[in-house]
Amino acid sequence: MKRADTAGKCVEVDRLIKAERMDLLGYACYRLGNMEDAEDAVQDVCFRLHLRLKENDPEVINPKAYLYRSLANLCIRRKQEKTNFVPYPPDKLPELIETEAEDFEHEYQRIDLLLAEIPEEQADVIRLRFYGNKSFKEIADILGLPLTTVKSRFLYGLEKMKRKLHIS
């Protein structure tokens, strides 16, 4: 790729990042539990994307999909590494669900517990839909999956969450 092509791609990616920033932050915030960690994660992923573009990395075919996939992977790693993160045990789930969410952290913990009870591929589709504000088509593009698979994962995930909440 020529230098001018790389510069053009960087400008396009800058526009994409600006357009997606709030959705990326919302998605990361619900993956990590707070805005400060979310901002760090989004910044890291955006920086890595720019580096890969400058290196002409052939894996970056769809920058938007790269951003969300990389962000999801980074959030998983950071959450696992976080030493002070102690998730509530599953037996606390009914108690948390029945109480009112008083703040973001409490709400996050309640939702995180529910999402932890379903398969990760279903939880990720739900996160992208609600916290990333993505359409099913966009999620399919991001995850590299057929649209019907994305819709099925979303529906099955919600059904499992409803059963945990005892909602019919």
- Per the model's pLDDT, the better-predicted residue between 73 and 102 turns out to be 73
Cα–Cα distances in Å, from 54 out to 28, 58, 69, 101?
Answer: 25, 11, 19, 44
pLDDT at 118 over 60: yes
pLDDT at 18 over 50: yes
Domains of the chain, CATH where assigned: 1-85 (1.10.1740)
- Per the model's pLDDT, the better-predicted residue between 106 and 77 turns out to be 77
- Per the model's pLDDT, the better-predicted residue between 50 and 59 turns out to be 50
pLDDT at 90 over 60: no
**Residue-level pLDDT at 97:** 47
Most confident stretch, 18-27, 29-38, 57-66: 18-27
Give mean pLDDT, residues 97-113: 67
**Residue-level pLDDT at 119:** 93
Give mean pLDDT, residues 53-77: 85
Percent of the chain past pLDDT 90, that is, above it, reads: 36
**Residue-level pLDDT at 59:** 73
Selection from 137, 97, 138 nearest residue 115 by Cα: 97
How far is residue 86's CA from residue 33's CA, in Å, rounded to a whole number?
Answer: 12
**Residue-level pLDDT at 30:** 85
